[in-house]
Amino acid sequence: MNSNTPNVPALIPVQDVARMAEAVAKSGLFGMTKPEQAMSLMLIAQAEGTHPALAARDYHIIQGKPALKADAMLARFQQAGGKVEWTCMTDDKVAGKFSHPQGGSVEIDWDMERAKAAELGGKGMWKKYPRQMLRARVISEGIRTVYPGVVIGVYTPEEVQDFDDRPARNMGAAQTVEDQPKAEAKTAAPRQTGNVGEKEQRLRDMSKKIQDDLAAAGNLETLNSVWADYADGLDEIKEFKKAVHDHLEKHYQARLAFFAQAPVDESATTEAAKEGE
């Protein structure tokens, strides 16, 4: 075999992957209780060039969602050329500098004050293992900021456990009400958007969508467009929970810094100029 040939594992037939998925589901390990869950992750692993069985090692299924373990996430980042330098590692604060040749560098920190502001610090695992929970948050945010390609669409188990999965309440069918004359009021009524719990869930979903879209932005123009498109939503998030808004803004600023440092692709610029002629 040529020494330059990449070490890619042989393709495993789908029927063999299905048998592996059955065995993993029956074992009850890794949080995968259904063959379909294991099968889906194993096929993704094979598409990424790794053995399907490694999906069981790297992933957990939590609350029905696939979660990539923080150590596996960091390993993928380092295998792709990324580096991390830990600058603080205590039960009160974890910080690290993340860098990648294609994504620049950024320092990310999480402390218990920030976790409590995001209503995370009072939960069970945060009380028992604060340093590990903070470390997982730093790993996820740092990698998403400088090289999001290795974590597209997945979160760490620690993040998934913190998701608010309360189902939306059925409010019944809408009723049409005729307009009534409005009485003059001495003071403007406060804006209301329904049940507080439902609003919080909606804003949590919106926050995750904004962060994913910022991470997926491939250039400065797209990044600024995403931030502008969510202007109204960001104002509502800031009004409801400023700590979450500040986190999104910090992520946006980090991506801005990355694109400001990124070298210009002259070939792409030339091609674009030719298309415009």
| % of the chain at pLDDT higher than 90 | 17
Average pLDDT, the chain: 74
Q: What is the 3-state secondary structure (H, E, C) of 89-131?
A: ECCCEEEEEEEECCCEEEEEEEEHHHHHHCCCCCCHHHHHCHH
Residue 195 to residue 175: CA distance in whole angstroms: 18
Judged by average pLDDT, the poorest of 47-56, 79-88, 179-188, 238-247 is 179-188
Rounded mean pLDDT of 25-52? 81
Q: DSSP assignment, residue 190?
A: P
- Run of H or E including 65: strand 65-68
Full-model pTM:
0.48
3-state helix, strand, coil in the chain (%, to 5): 55, 10, 35
Judged by average pLDDT, the poorest of 124-133, 197-206, 222-231 is 222-231
Residue 219 to residue 24: CA distance in whole angstroms: 41
Q: DSSP assignment, residue 230?
A: T
Rounded mean pLDDT of 111-124? 82
Rounded mean pLDDT of 252-271? 55
Q: Which of 167, 66, 151 is closest to 100 using CA atoms? A: 151
